[in-house]
Amino acid sequence: MIDHSVFNNKKVVFHTLGCKLNFAETSAIGRQLADDGFVKARPGEQADVCIVNTCSVTDVADAKGRQAIKRLIRLYPNAIMVVTGCYAQLKPDEIASIEGVDLVLGSNEKFNMLDYLRSFDKTKKEFVHRSDILKIKEFKPSCSRGDRTRFFLKVQDGCNYYCTYCTIPMARGHSRSGAVAETVQAARQAVAEGAKEIVLTGVNIGDFGRGNGESFFDLLRALDKIPEEVRFRISSIEPNLLTDEIIRYVASSRRFMPHFHIPLQSGTNEALQLMKRRYNRELFAEKIQTIKTVLPDAFIGVDVIVGIRGETDELFRQSYQFIEGLDISQLHVFTYSERSGTKMLEIDHAVPVAERKRRSEMLHQLSAKKTQAFYNSQTGKTVQVLWESRSRDEKMTGFSHNYVRVERSYDKNRINQVETVNLGGWNEEKSALISLFPPVERSLPTNVVNLR
Ligand code: SF4
């Protein structure tokens, strides 16, 4: 039995997998533990407690979770090994069977971490604590801070959509969110702690305010009014919840960046129906059109899943053609994997794994073309860049307001600062555009005129 007083200076290690939401929640747990005397173990230092916050969006995510857990058990043999997150919620026994795991906590139990550590007893057989996730109504706010330039503010959790390929509703429960006022307060707190950019994150953020008479649009307008200088980004939002009102508001807003991340998943209505998505491809194309009309330089990232059950060669061909015709900047390509407990398993037609891989490669190549075209369209433009840390060789990078990665010569005074620059051509690695003003300390590629 560990009593409270011995937490002082106890060393803790965190390992987070998966989405922005998980990072925000790990940060919140870290804060709770720090308030109770825990300190983060430095690299190479042994830890008393090791906490792994897992993801379970695909089979690959589960496998990565198992690998990370086993590696950390080897690295910290004396630590209390705690595993939580979506994988722990969906398959607790699979994790409990890993030799060296001491505590398995369901998705909602992670917020009671201190209680579980206080009552931890290595001799106790029962160490799996599930969450009755579909009964959870309470929203637990959290925000990642300090370990990144960009702060992730959790504004919503859970989902009521039950798309046929997805396990997230079973891992995180029903859709829930805080109130606009407390969310605005959390954002202002993050700014007070140094945030220059805040990413609004959740599972289905467009569903914010469900059940308490507020809406995501209300939240945007309230955040846009806070007096502090800060940039906001909207993370992934369902196309049917991305209203034209929201798009036009972002276009007129000073704080919300022209950057959208919208899950399409497939470019045919047949496949969208198999997935039980809540829009058709015509609606999706209209959203892209509306964005590009009011924000021609907006960055648009789009999620696509390849190889779902029922995706015949012909459906994939049509989907590819549709996506090819969209004026977007990047694709996030996911390869479908069978998930136990999902309705899609009732569809007989399974796409062979090798074919899923081939389709994924085709969409990755298409994505690279789209990103190249978008970046080329930005050369010569004036943008506001939030500089991050050092990249390499006396250079540093950051992202522009419209999510272009930009490079300049390193200057430590500019970390976490916003600067207006002109965009030049690609850097040598073709990983960023170079900033021209202020000029970079080296000869410019031939295709860019020096504006000095
Ligand atoms: S909207 Fe669909 S894919 Fe997204 S979390 Fe909800 S059920 Fe999963």
**Ligand 1: which of 56, 161, 278 to mutate, most ligand atoms within 8 Å of CB?**
161
Calculate how far, in angstroms, residue 275's C-alpha sits from the geometric centre of ligand 1: 10
- Decide: 166 in ligand 1 pocket, CB within 6 A: yes
Calculate how far, in angstroms, residue 263's C-alpha sits from the geometric centre of ligand 1: 10
Calculate how far, in angstroms, residue 235's C-alpha sits from the geometric centre of ligand 1: 14
Calculate how far, in angstroms, residue 317's C-alpha sits from the geometric centre of ligand 1: 24
- Decide: 161 in ligand 1 pocket, CB within 6 A: yes
Cα atoms in the Cβ-side hemisphere of radius 13 Å centred on 355: 14
Does 7 have pLDDT greater than 90?
no
* The pLDDT of residue 390: 64
- Name the DSSP letter for residue 174: S
Calculate how far, in angstroms, residue 66's C-alpha sits from the geometric centre of ligand 1: 24
Does 4 have pLDDT greater than 70?
no
- Name the DSSP letter for residue 41: P
> Which residue's CA lies nearest to atom 1 of ligand 1?
161
* The pLDDT of residue 436: 85
Query: 203: which 2 tokens?
Result: 């599972």
- Decide: 382 in ligand 1 pocket, CB within 6 A: no
Cβ proximity of 307 and 313 under 8 Å: no
Calculate how far, in angstroms, residue 244's C-alpha sits from the geometric centre of ligand 1: 21
- Decide: 169 in ligand 1 pocket, CB within 6 A: yes
* DSSP bridge partners of 152: 199
Does 255 have pLDDT greater than 70?
yes
Q: How far apart are CA 25 and CA 157, in angstroms?
A: 11
Long-range (24+ apart) CB contacts under 8 A made by 247-255 are 247/287, 247/290, 247/291, 247/294, 247/295, 248/290, 248/294, 249/217, 249/220, 249/221, 249/224, 250/220, 250/295, 251/294, 251/295, 253/220, 253/224, 254/224, 255/223, 255/224, 255/226, 255/230, 255/231
> Which residue's CA lies nearest to atom 2 of ligand 1?
163
- Decide: 313 in ligand 1 pocket, CB within 6 A: no
**Ligand 1: which of 22, 89, 134, 159 to mutate, most ligand atoms within 8 Å of CB?**
159
Calculate how far, in angstroms, residue 219's C-alpha sits from the geometric centre of ligand 1: 21
Calculate how far, in angstroms, residue 319's C-alpha sits from the geometric centre of ligand 1: 20
pLDDT average, residue stretch 250-276: 97
- Decide: 168 in ligand 1 pocket, CB within 6 A: yes
Residue 121: pLDDT band with limits 50, 70, 90? confident
CB count, 10 Å around CB of 220? 22
- Decide: 159 in ligand 1 pocket, CB within 6 A: yes
Residue 6: pLDDT band with limits 50, 70, 90? low
Q: What is the pLDDT of residues 342-364, one digit of tens each?
A: 999 999 999 999 999 999 999 99
Calculate how far, in angstroms, residue 202's C-alpha sits from the geometric centre of ligand 1: 11
pTM of the model: 0.91
Calculate how far, in angstroms, residue 45's C-alpha sits from the geometric centre of ligand 1: 39
Residue 198: pLDDT band with limits 50, 70, 90? very high
pLDDT average, residue stretch 370-395: 91
Residue 391: pLDDT band with limits 50, 70, 90? low
Query: 357: which 2 tokens?
Result: 């891989």
Q: How far apart are CA 244 and CA 247, in angstroms?
A: 5
Q: Which domains does the chain have, with CATH numbers?
A: 11-131 (3.40.50.12160), 135-377 (3.80.30.20), 379-436 (2.40.50)
Closest by CA position to 405, among listed 433, 428, 438: 433
Residue 88 CB burial class (10 angstroms; 0-12, 13-18, ≥19):
buried
* The pLDDT of residue 389: 72
- Give the rounded percent of residues in the chain with a pLDDT score beyond 90: 84
Cβ proximity of 162 and 169 under 8 Å: yes
Q: How far apart are CA 260 and CA 403, in angstroms?
A: 9
Indicate which atom in ligand 1 lies nearest the CA of residue 275.
2
As a whole number, the mean pLDDT across the chain is 92
pLDDT average, residue stretch 439-449: 45
Cβ proximity of 153 and 200 under 8 Å: yes
* DSSP bridge partners of 419: 385
Q: How far apart are CA 205 and CA 355, in angstroms?
A: 33
* The pLDDT of residue 9: 83
- Decide: 344 in ligand 1 pocket, CB within 6 A: no
Cβ proximity of 407 and 440 under 8 Å: yes
* The pLDDT of residue 445: 45
**Secondary structure (DSSP) of 73-141:** HHH-TTSEEEEEEHHHHH-HHHHHTSTT--EEE-TTGGGGHHHHHHT--TT-S--EE---GGG------
Cβ-based neighbours of 227, under 8 Å, separated by 6 or more: none
Query: 212: which 2 tokens?
Result: 């308490």
Indicate which atom in ligand 1 lies nearest the CA of residue 203.
5
- Decide: 163 in ligand 1 pocket, CB within 6 A: yes
> Which residue's CA lies nearest to atom 8 of ligand 1?
166
Calculate how far, in angstroms, residue 162's C-alpha sits from the geometric centre of ligand 1: 6
* The pLDDT of residue 127: 82
Residue 437: pLDDT band with limits 50, 70, 90? low
Query: 392: which 2 tokens?
Result: 């390499």
- Decide: 276 in ligand 1 pocket, CB within 6 A: no
Residue 444: pLDDT band with limits 50, 70, 90? very low
Closest by CA position to 386, among listed 426, 419, 410: 419
Query: 41: which 2 tokens?
Result: 């173990």
Q: What is the pLDDT of residues 313-343, one digit of tens each?
A: 999 999 999 999 999 999 999 999 999 899 9
- Decide: 162 in ligand 1 pocket, CB within 6 A: yes
Q: Find the largest Cα–Cα distance for the chain.
A: 70
Q: How far apart are CA 386 and CA 392, in angstroms?
A: 17
- Decide: 220 in ligand 1 pocket, CB within 6 A: no
Closest by CA position to 193, among listed 251, 143, 242: 143
pLDDT average, residue stretch 131-135: 90
Q: How far apart are CA 448 and CA 434, in angstroms?
A: 10
User: Would you put residue 96 in left (φ > 0), alpha (ψ -120 to 50) or beta?
Assistant: alpha
